[in-house]
Amino acid sequence: MPVHSGLLRLATEGDGQIVDLTSGVASVVRQSGAREGVATVFAVGSTLAVTTMEYEPGGVQDLTRALERLLPAEGDYAHNRLNHDTNSHAHQRASIVGPSESIPVVGGELALGTWQQVVLLDFDDRPRQRSVHVHVIS
Amino acid sequence: MPVHSGLLRLATEGDGQIVDLTSGVASVVRQSGAREGVATVFAVGSTLAVTTMEYEPGGVQDLTRALERLLPAEGDYAHNRLNHDTNSHAHQRASIVGPSESIPVVGGELALGTWQQVVLLDFDDRPRQRSVHVHVIS
Amino acid sequence: MPVHSGLLRLATEGDGQIVDLTSGVASVVRQSGAREGVATVFAVGSTLAVTTMEYEPGGVQDLTRALERLLPAEGDYAHNRLNHDTNSHAHQRASIVGPSESIPVVGGELALGTWQQVVLLDFDDRPRQRSVHVHVIS
């Protein structure tokens, strides 16, 4: 069977919280038995995103601040006005960072760098229950 | 056959127009007959991008304005000077948002959130005929 | 065998250097013998990214300057303070642009536009030896 799928479910705090997904993604890859392939990681929802980073407190703080500086939570946003909502910034950040990354599997392992983790960024302004799909093709 | 491919052709207005591709992508997935797999959506060209968002008028307006504020159409751009062109901003935006997203297929359906659509952003400064490839691996 | 993998190794100068990967990626696709499929390009490391662009001197200069303006090298960054490091800006840029793109293969060729190249952006502030994985699924 060439496609093995896994679903990561997690409770997030929102407000730009960055969660390290690496062990969860690696677990799906292990269960797939794939030696060579590609793992696609996809965040379900329009106020969160997936990327990679060196997951350490300084980098987490800097990335959070950069996104707040570039796409501030406060602003005269049409999404908030038209929908009586408060999270337009979360939508903007999610679309620019993007919901998916595809990571090669080499020798049964994710081909990440030593200081490179797969992360979920939850930009919404409240805690959420989130789903991340991991599909391994091999 | 593990790869099913589809080609979406569309006329865009440019100037950052955001087009909802979800039904077109879903149609390719349906035709593929895939139950579990991954759909890769790829925009052909260097002045457009693919991402996901909640496709509603307020969010469309906010994302358009955010990209114009961060990467303005007007500027002293080398691309425009050297090539007698006017769309350097479109190239910059396209590279940062990126041309591809890969979306899991679960039970024959795209694993999108309820308020999450696949969109094409055409940043060029004139109407264009565009091609978007959708490849479904299952 | 549905997965064909290749590894591009290259020496980069850092400081935002943009390298055209297209011929290397196309070479892996050719070796794979794939007619229809998807090529996933993934940059190993947390200070570099993959995207597409029209690879010409003006566009390279404009994209480099835009990223320096939005995410400047100089700044009061926690990553640099806590880790006695100097490349927080490189991490921020890498996470926002993202490490992977997936490009359809059509008729044995990458489905890129005429003026669209696959590029590596190395944001680190020193020369590095870099690895880029190319996995072709067909």
Average pLDDT across each block of 10 residues of chain B; the chain has 138 residues. List them in order: 90 96 98 97 98 98 98 98 97 98 98 98 98 97
Which residues are within 8 A (CB) of A75 and not within 5 positions of it... i.e. 6 or more apart? A88, A89
Q: Which residue of A has its CA nearest to B57?
A: A79
From residue A20, how far is each of A127, C51, C83 by CA, in Å?
Answer: 17, 23, 19
- pLDDT under 70: residue ranges of chain C: 1
Rounded Cα gap, residues B41 and B100, in angstroms: 6
Q: What is the pLDDT of residue A2?
A: 80
Question: Which chain A positions have a beta carbon within 8 Å of C46's beta carbon?
Answer: 52-54, 59, 113, 115-117
What residues does each domain of chain A span?
A: 3-137
pLDDT digits (tens, 9 = 90+) for A81-137: 999 999 999 999 999 999 999 999 999 999 999 999 999 999 999 999 999 999 999
Give, for A48, the enclosing helix (H) or strand (E): strand A48-53
Q: Cβ contact (<8 Å) for B36 and A3? A: yes
pLDDT for A124 equals: 98
Rounded Cα gap, residues C102 and C40, in angstroms: 4
- CA-nearest residue to C111 within chain B is B44
Contact residues on chain B for C63, CB-CB shorter than 8 A: 91-92, 95-96
In the structure encoding, which two tokens stand for residue B97, read together? 């948002």
**Would you say domain C3-137 falls under CATH 2.60.120.460?**
yes
Alpha carbon of C11 to those of A111, C8, C101, C122, C127: distances in Å?
A: 19, 10, 21, 10, 7
Q: Which pLDDT value is given to residue B2?
A: 80
pLDDT at residue C2, rounded to an integer: 80
- CB contacts < 8 A, A to C, total 104
Nearest CA in chain B to C39: B40
Q: C-alpha B84: how far from its chain's center?
A: 26
| Closest Cα in chain A, distance from residue C102 (Å) | 7
* pLDDT value for A93: 98
The string of pLDDT tens digits covering residues C4-33 is 999 999 999 999 999 999 999 999 999 999
What's the predicted TM-score (pTM) here?
0.98
Cβ distance A61 to C79 less than 8 Å, yes or no, reads yes
Q: Of how many residues is chain C composed?
A: 138
Query: What letter does residue A128 receive in the DSSP assignment?
Result: E
**Helix B57-70 to helix A88-97 angle, to the nearest 10 degrees?**
60
Domain over B14-35+49-137 is classified CATH 1.10.3720.10: no
Residues of chain A whose beta carbon is less than 8 angstroms from a beta carbon of chain C are 2, 36-38, 51-54, 56-59, 61-63, 66-67, 70, 96-98, 101-104, 106, 111-113, 115-117, 119, 137-138
Report chain C residues whose CB lies below 8 A from the CB of A119. 95
Across the interface, whether the CB atoms of A40 and B98 are under 8 A apart is answered no
Which residues in chain B belong to E strands, given as ranges? 3-12, 17-20, 36-43, 48-53, 100-106, 109-110, 117-122, 128-137
pLDDT of residue C118: 98
Name which of C77, C91, C102 is nearest A53 (Cβ-Cβ): C91
Instruction: State pLDDT tens for residues A1-20.
Output: 489 999 999 999 999 999 99
Element housing C133 (H / E): strand C128-137
Under DSSP, the state recorded for A13 is -
Chain C residues within 8 A of B79 when measuring between CB atoms: 54, 56, 58-59, 61-62
Q: How far is A40 from chain C (nearest CA, A)?
A: 10
Q: What is the pLDDT of residue B30?
A: 98
Alpha carbons B93 and B110: distance in angstroms, whole number: 26
Residue of B nearest to C18 (CA): B95
A61 CB neighbours in chain C (<8 A) are 78-79
